[in-house]
Amino acid sequence: MKLAHVVCAGVMLLTSAAAAQEGGKAISKTTISLGTATPGGGFPLYGDAFAAVMNEADPQVAIEPRNTKGSNENIPLLENDKLDIALVAGEPAYEAFMGIGRPATRIKILTAIYSSPGMFVVRADSPYKTIQDLVGKPVVFGAKGSGLPIMSRYMLDGIGLKQDEDFQSIYLDRAGDGPAMVQDGRAAALWGAGVGWPGFKAMAESPGGARFIAPDSSQIARVVAKHSFLKTLTVPANSYPNQTAALPSIGSWSYVLVRESLPDDVAYRLARALHGAEGALCKKLAQACETTAANTVAAAPKAELIHPGVMKYFREIGVAK
């Protein structure tokens, strides 16, 4: 298999063509680099499932997951054409799209992947039952480059708290290190988000068990009123062991984003393969059941932020105008 680099509009693309033999005929194979995050977090888990399903759905596409530092690294890697596609949490994506604290990005949305209700988890035998109980305590807010600390910062700001002043904030080099810090007492709580998140799963399945702490109804209302891009989301009952009641919280949608220079025909092909295999992806990973064309159209802050090649496919299947 010989790799040939593709040059488009004077830019060296990461997408490469490979020669292969199928039924005696040479076919091209497009290799797509996928940025995820640090090991032990939700993005590598999703990225592996996404790649496996996509590669089976379209044998002429090879999705290659790559660990990165997370959302805050993935965005500039996409902007500099050093990744083809990447997983990015809702808050850093929103800031990049809107130009908050930086120039507005020109990267685009391939798909919304899942909603991420944020909450804290503590040991079941801990005395902490509310967010206020955690004030002044050591709290793990996630990996340094991930979107989780950004979500928590917005959430806490909405209820009048400052993440790095009102808490002993801990930021990790590896997302997977958080649960052990809570279990052995180095931290009082771990912040995370979503259904099937590995940190929550590790805590809930530990011998001592775990308890979740989310904003209460009045706090949710205050957060959403101040930061309207955050939405009221719910962690369904029994998403984790011994979590018998649904947990309302706030959060956002995470995305697969693509570099602006990704050709329309490649984006179209990726969208067609992905949404033609929604059922297979759902079977492979529970939280991926939310990865649908309809959810992407609904979750995008603006329709023009979806890649034109993806929008072409969405119009063909009737989910966009």
**What's the CATH number where 204 sits?**
3.40.190.10
The helix/strand/coil state of 229 is coil
Say whether both 193 and 92 belong to one domain.
no
Strand 189-193 and strand 231-235: the pairing is unpaired
Say whether both 266 and 296 belong to one domain.
yes
Say whether both 161 and 238 belong to one domain.
yes
Say whether both 103 and 27 belong to one domain.
yes
For residue 145 the two structure tokens come to: 């480059």
Say whether both 184 and 148 belong to one domain.
yes
Say whether both 99 and 147 belong to one domain.
no
Say whether both 302 and 210 belong to one domain.
no
pLDDT by residue (tens digit) across 31-68? Answer: 999 999 999 889 999 999 999 999 999 999 999 999 99
Q: Is this structure's pTM higher than 0.85?
A: no
Say whether both 49 and 145 belong to one domain.
no
Give the helix ranges, DSSP H, for the chain. 42-57, 71-79, 90-98, 148-158, 163-166, 178-183, 198-204, 217-226, 264-276, 278-284, 293-299, 308-317
Q: Furthest-apart CA pair in the chain: how many Å? A: 67
Say whether both 155 and 244 belong to one domain.
yes
At 27 the pLDDT is 58
Q: Which residue has the higher pLDDT, 16 or 151?
A: 151
Distance, C-alpha 222 to centroid of its chain? 24
At 84 the pLDDT is 98
Position 284 confidence tier, pLDDT thresholds 50, 70, 90:
very high
**Number of structural domains in the chain:** 2
Q: Considering Cα of 139, then 141, then 144, then 150, what sign does the dihedral take?
A: negative
Mean pLDDT along residues 256-272:
97
Say whether both 210 and 295 belong to one domain.
no
Picking from 206, 227, 252, the residue at the C-terminal end of a domain is 252
Mean pLDDT of the chain: 91
Picking from 211, 234, 252, the residue at the C-terminal end of a domain is 252
In sequence order, which residues have a C-beta less than 8 Å from that of residue 174 and are 6 or more positions away? 38, 39, 40, 143
Residue 6 one-letter amino acid: V
Say whether both 219 and 301 belong to one domain.
no
Picking from 229, 252, 275, the residue at the C-terminal end of a domain is 252
The domain containing residue 266 runs over which residues? 3-115+253-317
Distances (CA, A) of 143 to 176, 190, 266, 294: 9, 11, 32, 30
pLDDT at residue 7 is higher than 70 = no
pLDDT by residue (tens digit) across 94-136? Answer: 999 999 999 999 999 999 999 999 999 999 999 999 999 999 9
Say whether both 215 and 306 belong to one domain.
no
Q: What are phi and psi of 220, to 5 degrees?
A: -60, -45
Mean pLDDT along residues 220-240:
94
Mean pLDDT along residues 230-237:
93
Residues, the chain, total? 321
Distances (CA, A) of 142 to 71, 134, 163, 206, 243: 12, 16, 12, 19, 22
